[in-house]
Amino acid sequence: MLLVPVLKLLGGSAGTIGPSVPLLFLAPVLIASTVGGRVSGAVVAVVAVAAWDWFFIPPFYTVTVNYSRDVLALVIFVGVALLTGQLADSARQRAEDALRRAAVAQALYDLSTALIGSHDVQEVLRSLTASLYSVFRLRACAVLLPSGNTWATAAASGNLPPELTVEKNRAACSVASWVAANNQASGLPAARARFLPLQARDRAVGVLEIVFRSEAGLDEERERLISTFANSAALVVEQARLAQEERAAAIARESDELKSALLSSVSHDLRTPLAGIKAAASSLLQQDIQWSEEDRLAFATDIDREADRLTRLVSDLLDLSRIEAGVLKPVKQNEDIEELIVRTVDRVQPRLGGRLVEIHVQQGLPLVPMDVVQVEQVLVNLLDNAGKYAPSGTPIEVSAELVDLEGKREVRVSVSDRGPGVPERDRSQVFDKFHRLPGSGSRQGGTGLGLAIVKGLVEAHGGHVWIEAGEEGGARFVFSLPTLDQEVVTEQQVEEEAAP
């Protein structure tokens, strides 16, 4: 309507723009068709013809037309206006289709990138539902996965009504089960909900639920594109299932390997002390031989020594299992590390075959927050290990010093021997369960658990353990304990955490 007064001011059909009036009336037709579609364009075309006839074709302000050429002009204008509106509407639809296809392509690209780069199934499924929701302008969409005998929503986007969730609506759950069982799409027409199977290897691994807006629907092209997304979701779910099966198989293989390693490592160490105990006990029980007190003492000593060996073996197995289960938490108290080293060396000295233990402790070391029992076990295991490999007559050195690393202080304790040492290529594996150095066989005894326990106990204290080459040959085992102000875990706190 604004066009009429403007044209009147410019002289109308009698002015200089008179021949261009019909062309100017095509402008609102084009705008209406582009913005509102074909119907809007046709309505504006009829209004434009009426306005042209009423205001600019004589006689003015009537619907009467005096000249046949004006009638022909009106007819041609109507045809051109409708055709122009149709072309504008088609161009608009093609532009919208192009934008939608571009959005779908971008969404598929983003989804494929997520499939390649992410190992989090939930994150990928959330990205997929978000893409579906935005690209197809849905009310809501969700990925449903089987959970026992029912269904669970793994990821969702949009406003999913409670009456359409499988957790709260039995009908939705039944439809999802039917879709998965028959591998066919179905829905709830009254709720404008559609359920599509997530197919992988000719079977449904889940269901995609989509809820349309009141004015939307699912045509053939939209269903085909949504099926593409559904196939991607099925791929994600199937990959997750295969990865879970692979992890389970790996755990089973590792468990079998550990069992085999445990049996091969422990069986010899069990048989040897048991055989010694059996032989000594059987000898003492023989009635036909009169043993001297010296012989009886020797047999009793053998039984006691082999029983201690068995006790250490069982204790190592129990400690390692508790470390791996995460239940062996240190109860820390501030302790004097020098006093602990001296006490531990005195305890282990009889088992070191007469080897001298040299102690070098830096003066003025601060108290260290630690579980004294566990750290003593660390020192015992390291000293026992040094005693196995240090040549007879060579000393074993135990040292402790304070180290300041960028403001973080820690006490480093080392146990050094002058044995064959540990090759650099094997140092990362020495602390693994049941690991023995190549060529060592079982000549030194042990089960390969002592150093694994050392690593577990030290790391439970927030420290580290590693191996260095000794200054005079052999190996130098070093472990660190933090000395910064930390919360000391009391025995009462550990008991409270362990309580159900």
Kindly state the average pLDDT of the residues 23-36.
Answer: 68
Do residue 319 and residue 340 come from a single domain?
no
Instruction: Give the pLDDT band of residue 340 (cuts 50, 70, 90).
Output: very high
24-28, 150-154, 388-392, 428-432: which has the minimum mean pLDDT? 24-28
pLDDT higher at 147 or 397 = 397
Interatomic CA distance for residues 128 and 80, integer angstroms: 46
Q: Are residues 136 and 79 located together in one domain of the fold?
A: no
Cβ atoms of residues 397 and 360 within 8 Å: yes
Any domain includes 105: no
pLDDT digits (tens, 9 = 90+) for 438-452: 555 444 555 567 888
d(CA 362, CA 464) in angstroms, rounded, equals 20
Radius of gyration from C-alpha coordinates of the chain: 43
pLDDT at 397 over 90: yes
Mean pLDDT of 410-433: 85
Sheet holding 475-482, edge to edge: 357-361, 396-405, 408-416, 475-482, 465-469
Q: Are residues 188 and 79 in the same domain?
A: no
Task: Please state whether beta strands 333-335 and 368-370 pair in parallel, antiparallel, or not at all (unpaired).
Answer: antiparallel
Q: 114 in a domain, yes or no?
A: no
Average pLDDT of span 308-336: 77
Which of 45, 63, 97 corresponds to the end of one domain? 97
Give residues with Cβ within 8 angstroms of 412, minimum separation 6.
Answer: 400, 401, 402, 403, 478, 479, 480
pLDDT of residue 408: 83
pLDDT at 50 over 90: no
| Beta strand pairing call for 396-405 and 357-361 | parallel
Q: Are residues 397 and 421 in the same domain?
A: yes
* Residue 306 sits in the same domain as residue 355: no
Q: Is residue 287 part of a domain?
A: yes
Give the whole-angstrom CA distance, residue 274 versus residue 267: 11
Supply the CATH number for residue 134's domain: 3.30.450.40
Could you tell me if 375 and 339 are in contact, meaning their C-beta atoms sit under 8 angstroms apart?
no
The kind and range of the H/E element at 75 are: helix 68-117
Residue numbers of the domain that contains 430: 329-498
Domain boundary among 64, 97, 130: 97
Is 360 found in the same domain as 494?
yes
Shared domain for 312 and 392, answered yes or no, is no
Asked if residue 59 has a cis previous peptide bond (ω within 30° of 0), the answer is: yes
Q: Has residue 115 been placed in a domain?
A: no
pLDDT at 478: 94
Q: Is 28 helix (H, G, I), strand (E, B) or coil?
A: helix
List the CATH number of the domain containing 310: 1.10.287
Q: Which CATH number is 454's domain given?
A: 3.30.565.10
- Cα of first residue to Cα of last residue in the chain, in angstroms, is 80
Q: Are residues 343 and 491 in the same domain?
A: yes
Q: What is the DSSP letter of 366?
A: P
Q: Note whether residue 104 is domain-resident.
A: no
User: For the purposes of burial, counting CB atoms within 10 Å of the CB of 274, is it exposed (0-12), middle (13-18) or buried (19 or more)?
Assistant: middle
Q: Do 88 and 131 lie in a common domain?
A: no
pLDDT for 108 beyond 50: yes
Count of the separate structural domains present in the chain? 4
Q: Is the pLDDT of residue 265 over 50?
A: yes
The Cα–Cα gap between 367 and 333 comes to 9
Last residue of a domain, one of 306, 324, 342: 324
Structure-model confidence comparison of residues 1 and 263, the more confident one: 263
Residues 320 and 241 in one domain: no
CB 401 within 8 A of CB 412: yes
The residue-averaged pLDDT of 172-179 equals: 88
Residue 29 has pLDDT above 60, yes or no: yes
List C-alpha distances in Å: 122 to 43, 128, 153, 370: 50, 10, 11, 41
Q: Which of helix, strand or coil describes residue 405?
A: strand
Closest CA to 410 of 373, 366, 443, 449: 366
Instruction: Please tell me whether residues 335 and 451 are part of one structural domain.
Output: yes
**Averaged pLDDT of the chain:** 77
pLDDT (0 to 100) of residue 490: 44
| C-alpha 88 chain-centroid distance | 50
Q: What is the mean pLDDT of residues 3-18?
A: 53
What is the predicted pLDDT for the residue at 444?
A: 52
483 with 346, same domain: the answer is: yes
Most confident by average pLDDT, 20-29, 146-155, 341-350: 341-350
Cβ atoms of 461 and 495 within 8 Å: the answer is: no
